[in-house]
Amino acid sequence: MLTSQRKALILDRLRRDGQVIAKALADELELSEDTIRRDLREMAGEKLLKRVHGGALPLSPELPDFSTRQGVSSDEKRRLGAYAAKMVRPHQTVFLDGGTTNAEIVRHLPKDLPVTIVTHSATITVELEHHSAAEVILIGGKLYKHSMVATGAAAMTAISSIRPDMFFLGVTAIHPARGVSTGDFEEAAIKRHIAQCSAETYVLATGEKLDAASPCQILPMAGISGLIVPADISEDSLVPYQAIEVPILLA
């Protein structure tokens, strides 16, 4: 690996993760920590990053980016996103629903992973700009602006022609008895349709979504292949879901 590539990688990680740990990166790239630290020292000299004990941080905490990055993703969402990104195997076809949590999945997907991403979300599509090896299929239709996804008959038809290996479903609420749900009827129908076309359906759930219900059910819990929750969630809150035998994955 060329030095300049390594430095570009470091900048990339800073943008993506908001931090770089010297030791972790040294392990990952199979180089000595000295080399990484030297890079960090030089880059700090060029005002490209801020050195801190143990690694480095971006110079400007967060670029004031538009709607895509509006919700400064919580650490919780980043962990869920990283976990889900690791589930994706090369050459799979993955359907990504809209939402900030799913945007985190994209940010953790390796930029050179050969994979087919299908999405009906404009914001997810924009996030995929620099994933050079990813084939992106954009589902069109009437835009539902609240979540910036395509809906309607055209979207339904387009989705029908695809059989994704896995679907990362975005929801607003999860309840043991009332399943996964969202606020809009049309959106719920689309999400349900995508799930039916997909081999597996996973839901990324931050803590505050558990044991809540929104007006429109998408699927009963039995329709979910797996629920991905932060590892530090209280065990009590998971009991009702273990009871109905939904596979729970700890991120």
Which residues of this protein are in contact with DNA, per CB under 7 A? 1-3, 6, 22-23, 31-35, 37-38, 41, 51-55
- Which is nearer to a copy of itself, 21 or 248 (by Cβ)? 21
By beta-carbon proximity to a copy of itself, the closer residue of 86 and 163 is: 163
Within a 10 A sphere around the Cβ of 83, how many other Cβ atoms? 21
Contact 124, 69 (CB under 8 A): no
22 binds, among DNA, a copy of itself, none (CB under 5 to 8 A by kind): DNA
Question: Contact residues for a copy of itself (CB under 8 A)?
Answer: 2-5, 8, 19, 21, 50, 52-55, 57, 61-62, 66-68, 120, 122-123, 125-126, 128-130, 132, 135-143, 145, 148, 150, 154-155, 158
Q: How far is the CB of 246 from DNA (least distance, A)?
A: 35
Find the radius of gyration of the CA atoms of the chain: 19
Report the C-alpha gap between 175 and 19 in whole angstroms. Answer: 35
Minimum CB distance to DNA smaller for 52 or for 133? 52
Specify burial of residue 41 (Cβ count, 10 A radius: 0-12, 13-18, 19+): exposed
CB of 61 to a copy of itself, least distance (A): 7
- Asked if 170 and 97 touch (Cβ cutoff 8 Å), the reply is yes
Instruction: Return d(Cα 53, Cα 155) in angstroms, integer.
Output: 50
CB of 35 or CB of 68, closer to a copy of itself: 68
Q: How far is the CB of 130 from DNA (least distance, A)?
A: 24
Tokens of 26: 């040294």
**Residues linked to residue 229 through DSSP beta bridges, in sequence order:** 250
